Amino acid sequence: MTQHSDSRQADRPTGRQADRPTGRQADRPTGRQADRPTVSSAGNRTLSKAKKDKNDEFYTQLVDIENELRHYRDQLRGKTIFCNCDDPFESNFFRYFALNFNTLGLKKLIATCHVKSSIAGAQLPLFDMEGLKPEGKLPYAIEINAVPDHDGDGATDLADVEYLLRHDANSSRPLEGDADYSGGDFRSRECVALLEEADIVVTNPPFSLFREYVAQLVDYGKQFLIIGNQNAITYKGVFTFIKNNKMWLGIDNGGTKWFRVPNDYDIQTESRKKIKDGVKYFSMGSVVWFTNMDNPKRHDSIPLFKKYSSAEYPAYDNYDAIDVARVADIPIDYDGVMGVPITFLDKYNPEHFELVGSNRDVGQDPSGVYGRGSMLHGKETFKRLFIRRKTGA
């Protein structure tokens, strides 16, 4: 992630909401609205839910999965991988793990599919689905214990995966759901049982359920690599995990990622839209990987060179901390608390810095000091994380 994005993009006090997948207001200066429902009636709620569900339908490209997953190969060996927001016939997560099953030395691959998505079978045909995909509306699970080289061409390819799905009746089964959740919902009992069996969960979950999704992974003590919006860093219920080093960022967080979307997906900003070979894509500049798996980036140092001066680093009106507008400008000789852009997390090494709080959501700060908007000369600043250098670092 570039320093450019520190100041211009990631943490605008009043970020534009138009194209946000969740339509949340998390960027507002006060940060107090982030968790409040904005609907006022049952009708509005239904509409809003439908909109959210629809906005959750964007699909990760194989290249983005490869770019991140290649850093964790050793940690995947012998493991059971669970993609629990992934229709195997649409998801490139399933495709990645099925194709690399043998190379990665996986023990098992499980994918579960929620209710049929609006583009199921229509726009992302990873396989020739004739007679292959379970019929009807029922969501289903696919479990793979091995991917033999059926066609004997010396490699594992989609043809081998397709052969397996066609001929191994045990690999696919419908999911029924329970009294609380529909079939394939990551919170349903069937999916939780599969979660318990899994070692590592890898997916791009629905952004609209991100907090709940993350909380479940942490509750069940699972390793995970999941895609989320950078703004989620300061969400109530997410930041606490980050602060307590139960979750951090993956590696490939920079740049613009393009996600495949249904043709009727509403994208209001032209520059975030592209159509290639008749397929529509939506770009989200602030998408990051969240994980609790170790990676080399987490042990890197930030190259810092600036020295503290009170003129260059003003103190906040309402915190005993200084404001540092760019991560690259963190002073090397300041031992107190510093407010830095949330993009700091992309460079965070817990051996060098301690995360003290964020200026969002007082509920997540037990000391009651941080969590309120940070004021500088009477004006509220952008989103900030509060950090302190570790002794001797």
Ligand X SMILES: C[S@@+](CC[C@H](N)C(=O)[O-])C[C@H]1O[C@@H](n2cnc3c(N)ncnc32)[C@H](O)[C@@H]1O
List residues near ligand X by CB under 6 A. Answer: 56-60, 85-86, 91-93, 114, 117, 184-186, 203-206, 209
Least Å distance between CB 186 and ligand X? Answer: 4
Q: Please list the residues that pair with 276 across neighbouring strands.
A: 279
* CB-nearer residue toward ligand X: 209 or 375: 209
Give me the phi and psi of 233, to 5 degrees please.
Answer: -50, -40
Q: Which is nearer to ligand X, 239 or 265 (CB)?
A: 265
Name which of 29 and 228 has its Cβ closer to ligand X.
228
Q: Are 283 and 272 in contact (CB under 8 A)?
A: yes
**What is the smallest separation between the CB atom of 335 and ligand X, expressed in angstroms?**
42
Q: Which is nearer to ligand X, 58 or 258 (CB)?
A: 58
The sheet with strand 140-144 has its strands ordered as 172-174, 140-144, 108-112, 80-83, 200-203, 223-229, 287-291, 248-249
Number of Cβ within 10 Å of residue 144's Cβ equals: 23
Of all residues in this chain, which one has the CB nearest to ligand X in the complex?
204
Q: Which is nearer to ligand X, 11 or 68 (by Cβ)?
A: 68
Please identify, using beta-carbon distances, which residue of 49 and 307 lies nearer to ligand X.
49
Q: Which residues does 314 contact at the CB level (< 8 Å), separation at least 6?
A: 322, 323, 376, 377
Minimum CB distance to ligand X, residue 21 (Å): 7
To ligand X, the closest distance from the beta carbon of 205 in angstroms equals 6
Longest dimension (CA), the chain: 71
Nearest approach in angstroms of CB 92 to ligand X is 6
Cβ proximity to ligand X: between 127 and 386 the closer is 127
Nearer to ligand X, 153 or 219 (CB): 219
Asked whether 149 and 156 are in contact (CB, 8 A), the reply is yes
Least distance in Å: CB of 69 to ligand X?
Answer: 13
Q: Do 58 and 259 meet the contact criterion of CB atoms below 8 Å apart?
A: yes
Helix 62-69 and helix 92-99, axial crossing angle in degrees, nearest 10: 50
CB of 185 to ligand X, least distance (A): 4
Q: How far is the CB of 226 from ligand X (least distance, A)?
A: 9
What does the alpha-carbon distance between residue 323 and residue 339 come to, in Å, rounded to a whole number? 5
Residues near 172 by beta carbon (within 8 Å), at least 6 away in sequence: 134, 140, 141, 142, 165
Closest approach of ligand X to the CB of residue 79, in Å: 19
Q: What is the 3-state secondary structure (H, E, C) of 1-25?
A: CCHHHHHHCCCCCCCCCCCCCCCCC
How far lies 298's CA from each of 243, 247, 303, 338, in Å? 14, 11, 14, 20
In angstroms, the CA 371 to CA 31 distance is 8
* Residue with smaller CB distance to ligand X, 87 or 323: 87
Contact call for residues 378 and 317 (beta carbons, < 8 A):
yes
